[in-house]
Amino acid sequence: MKFISQSIPDVILIEPDIISDNRGYFIETYKQNILNKFLGYKTEFIQDNESKSFNGVLRGLHYQLYPFTQAKLVRVVQGKVLVVAVDLRKKSKTFSKYVSQEICSVKKKQLFIPRGFAHGFVVLSEVAIFNYKVDNYYSSKFERGIAFNDKDLSIDWKIHQKSLIISDKDKKNPLLSKTKDLFE
């Protein structure tokens, strides 16, 4: 596995070694000891989640507050998505900045998103199956969101806004400047 720090160094692109032959391929999608060694701290994933979405579906930008903050390891099992991670750590040099990365089922890359970030993705292919590991349990009481179309963030979702399919809940997410629930 190859680990590549992104423009926000705590967000890591992971490129697995793909072993291919006439039967197909094999990859190791996760090795806790190698990831923890690269990060310099221990992350222990406790739950796997999966969603199926269609072209233009945008999910996010979501995060959870303490004590349910989550680090995520995201990958695409089928299709292609644009993944976005927004830094919500108020004391960070990269506060309110974001990383976006296209990941797809062909290249098998993954993105590690640490705690303190909002996360979202939009489907760029006809269909996408999106899988992610989290290191803490979900709590609806502690769930929060940021508006996907916040002009201060200026995220390029690669799809025209009128073509996006967004849940009613995500349409109501506040602008970052109106959000009180951020991370120290």
Mind telling me the catalytic residues? Answer: 62, 132
- 159 is written with which tokens? 């799809």
Q: What is the rounded CA–CA span in Å between residue 175 and residue 184?
A: 18
User: 39: left (phi > 0), else alpha (psi -120 to 50), else beta?
Assistant: alpha
Residue carrying structure tokens 């629930």: 181
Q: What are phi and psi of 182, to 5 degrees?
A: -120, -175
Q: Which helix (H) or strand (E) holds 170?
A: helix 168-171
Plot region of 40 (φ>0 → left; ψ -120 to 50 → alpha; else → beta): left
Collapsed DSSP state (helix, strand, coil) of residue 178: helix
Q: Do residues 22 and 37 touch, judged by C-beta distance below 8 A?
A: no
Say how far apart CA 165 and CA 65 lie, in whole Å.
Answer: 26
